[in-house]
Amino acid sequence: MNSSGVLVVFSGPSGSGKGTVLAQYFAAHPEAAFSVSATTRAPRPGEVDGVNYHFVSRERFEEMISQGEVLEYTQYGGNYYGSPAGPIREALEQGREAGEDPTGKDASVAAAYEAIRTIPGFGEIDPKAVGFGSTIYANKPGDGSAREQAASCQRVVGAWANIAQEYATKRYRSNCINWGIVPFLTQDKDALSKGCYVFVPHVREAILSGNEAIKAYVIREGQVKEITLSIGGLTPDEKKVIAAGCLINYYRD
């Protein structure tokens, strides 16, 4: 596989030998990443959650659809099947860290960078030099009503930030920081929508410098909108934890 990357889909009816072909493919291409699909059907004997499928409730799957957390999905036999976006986009970031160009793997990412290049000062931006992660955008996250919003769970699927009107508890915000998730605030409740991208240039420097206002850009359908984010008060150690990537890295360094 070349550095631009390709998405390979193996499709066939049950019992057609997909597993055999996949085993041979991954033996020949150890650099390839496997995306585990999500489904609302019940596990069959011997199937393992997170290995064969991510087994979720119908309510959770529909929530994933509404929040743009599924790249593609279908219904078959009364159940949903689809590809969670988080692991695939996390693979993009892992590839970027290895020197690959993420725009060659996802058309929506390529379109987002084309829009970013229209921003004054970023016409020559190199996608390989820009970190790539997911985010949650909510009015007041951390109130305990959504278990999937736990900071540790978000980090597993590549979360780099939360963007909120406010945070329900100091403990939730602290958990985000300890996992290296930036707890952004915004006063513009209509700033973001499902499926958009948020470009925050020089964010590490802004955090370490204690900037009260951080300039960011929302990319939606090829259009760019400038917004202002903030983080609120951070202690010197909290700034260093975020810059290090998480609390473990902070103590290791």
Same domain? 84 vs 137: no
What's the total number of domains in the chain? 2
Residue range 207-213: average pLDDT?
90
* Digit-coded pLDDT (tens) for 213-249: 999 999 988 899 999 999 988 999 999 999 988 888 8
For residue 100, the model assigns a pLDDT of 65
Same domain? 85 vs 165: no
* Digit-coded pLDDT (tens) for 103-128: 666 677 888 889 999 999 999 988 87
Residue 247 one-letter amino acid: L
Residue range 55-61: average pLDDT?
92
Same domain? 235 vs 140: yes
* Digit-coded pLDDT (tens) for 144-167: 654 445 777 777 667 889 999 999
- Domain CATH number, residue 186: 3.20.19.10
For residue 105, the model assigns a pLDDT of 63
The answer as to whether 236 is a domain residue is: yes
Residue range 165-180: average pLDDT?
89
| Rama region for 132: left / alpha / beta (φ>0; ψ in -120 to 50; rest) | beta
The domain of 9 spans 1-102
Mean pLDDT for all residues in the chain: 82
Residue range 161-183: average pLDDT?
90
Q: Match 């955008």 to its residue by tokens.
A: 137
- Take residue 194 and report the two structure tokens written for it: 């499902």
Longest pairwise C-alpha distance within the chain: 58
Same domain? 98 vs 140: no
